Amino acid sequence: MASVQPEYNLSHTLLRRAELNPEREALEFEGKIYRYDEFADRVRRAASVLKSHGVSRGDRVGFLGLNQPSFLETIFAANMIGAIFVPLNFRLTAEELGFIINDAGVHSLIVDPMLQPVVDGAKAALCCRTFFAVSDDAEGWVNMDAAIDKAEPLTDMVSVNQDDVCMIMYTSGTTGLPKGAMLTHGNILWNNVNASMAFGGDRECVMLTVAPLFHIGGLNVLTLQSFAIGSKLILMRVFEPEAVLEIIDAKSVTHMFGAPAMFQFMMQHPKFAATTFDSVETFICGAAPPPESLLTTYADRGVPFCQGYGLTETSPFGTFLTPEWSISKLGSAGQAPMHTYVRIVDEDNKPIAANQRGEICIMGANVMKGYWNRPEATAAAIDPEGWFHTGDVGYLDEDGFLFICDRLKDMVISGGENVYPAEVESVLFKHQSIAEVAVIGLPDEKWGEAVTAVAALHEGQSLSLEDLREFAETQLARYKLPLKLHIVDQLPRNPAGKVLKFKLKEDLS
């Protein structure tokens, strides 16, 4: 009897789940509910549309738009015919989008109608052969929804290997031009195996996705995992704190991923106190180190709040703090999951002892294949042994739990001493006047770099540098205390929730 080979194609997770549990609710978006068989049918029709417009194996298919079912239809449909998915940041300018679209060589681009004007202004310079609008009949655009309604469902799925590229996800580009991380079908599969073993989840779970899907955290912490296990996914077009708090109780949400800023905005909202969180099994925080006060606030409400750590290049799980450790290892990013390994190295790429700070390196089946068309960048990021160098500073404690200190590039060297901004931020955030804060280094004739706090305050509050230093001096060494303070209305962030420190440095230098 011929042996049956495993199928690694990401689209298999949805199509197979639709065979196993056709009548289960797969997705809810703005009041509309899709069963697994209904959603799989739309994916098969979307795949037929793409194929009829010349998309074939290895071609790149882009999506530009806010969170919506069409985003997920596109990734599954593209993969079904062996194409490579390219999610695009909807907050980029036409020039920035043009660089990514042409760098990836996008064959077909699907665009949310609200963003068509952005693309229209750049069309002549783009390499795309076909432009699809999600649901619009504008001239020069193919109406994707209308085409799906008319198409015959595609029955065959292209078989792929583990190391075939599933998607090209461009890094945030907080410094320099963005690079496209090539994530394979195997990367996505093994990331989701790791996730299942780390925080469980079953078909009775209700996953809430509010983070942008074009970001690896929004797409592959819970969203794709939900389809694999056959649970229900509630998708929100954008993050809005009040709406999120209402949905958590009303829809019995069990799991949600978000950046620290999202959870901060939720706990600062007046409706936070009235939200029960009774159904919540785990909140997962990633994208940046959360302040300890945020973790304790949710812990006091009985919410298991677990920090994860990862990057676009690691699909994203590098470590995860499982719920049983959420209190005793408060502030840790957890342990490496089952099929991934983490180590800390010095500047000579040599492993160092527990509790010593160094660069965090990750190895495993979830680590990207490399950067698209960037062999030099790939070689610089992945060493000959196969370890991916994150550029983040951290340490492993004696039990093997990872603690994140900061980015190597964000470290402030003041008077010859290394200052890790995240440590200082965690203390400053406890000040009652501060709504959000970032610490950066600015040029200083005496100290080389001055530890500088940039803070947004709660309404009606004021703050002086002297008050801030006095507040922090019992918790921080003197060389870590801010030498400068700048008050701003809000901190600049990218869509993943990360503070754009390079922008602060540009504005304040």
What does the H/E/C string look like for 37-48?
HHHHHHHHHHHH
Q: How far is CA 352 from CA 46, 361, 382, 402, 408, in A?
A: 50, 12, 19, 13, 16
The count of other CB atoms within 10 Å of the CB of residue 107 is 23
pTM: predicted TM-score of the whole model, two decimal places: 0.84
Residues pairing with 449 in the sheet? 443
The count of other CB atoms within 10 Å of the CB of residue 91 is 13
Q: How far is CA 3 from CA 6, 11, 159, 162, 186, in A?
A: 10, 22, 15, 18, 20
d(CA 503, CA 260): 19
d(CA 451, CA 474): 17
Q: What is the pLDDT of residue 174?
A: 46
- Where in the chain are all domains bearing CATH 3.30.300.30? 412-508
Q: What is the pLDDT of residue 172?
A: 62
Note the CATH number of domain 184-346+396-407: 3.40.50.12780
Q: Which CATH class is domain 412-508?
A: alpha beta
Query: Tokens 């990057």 identify what position?
Result: 311
Q: Is the peptide bond before 316 cis (omega within 30 degrees of 0)?
A: yes
Q: What is the pLDDT of residue 495?
A: 63
d(CA 251, CA 231): 13
Q: Which fold has domain 11-160?
A: Rossmann fold (3.40.50)
Which structure tokens are listed for 256? 């949600």
Instruction: Decide: 374 and 321 in contact? Cβ < 8 Å.
Output: no
Give the pairing of strands 448-457 and 282-285. Answer: unpaired
Q: What is the CA radius of gyration of the chain?
A: 23
- Where in the chain are all domains bearing CATH 3.40.50.980? 11-160
- Where in the chain are all domains bearing CATH 3.40.50.12780? 184-346+396-407
pLDDT less than 70: residues of the chain: 1-3, 172-176, 288-289, 416, 495-497
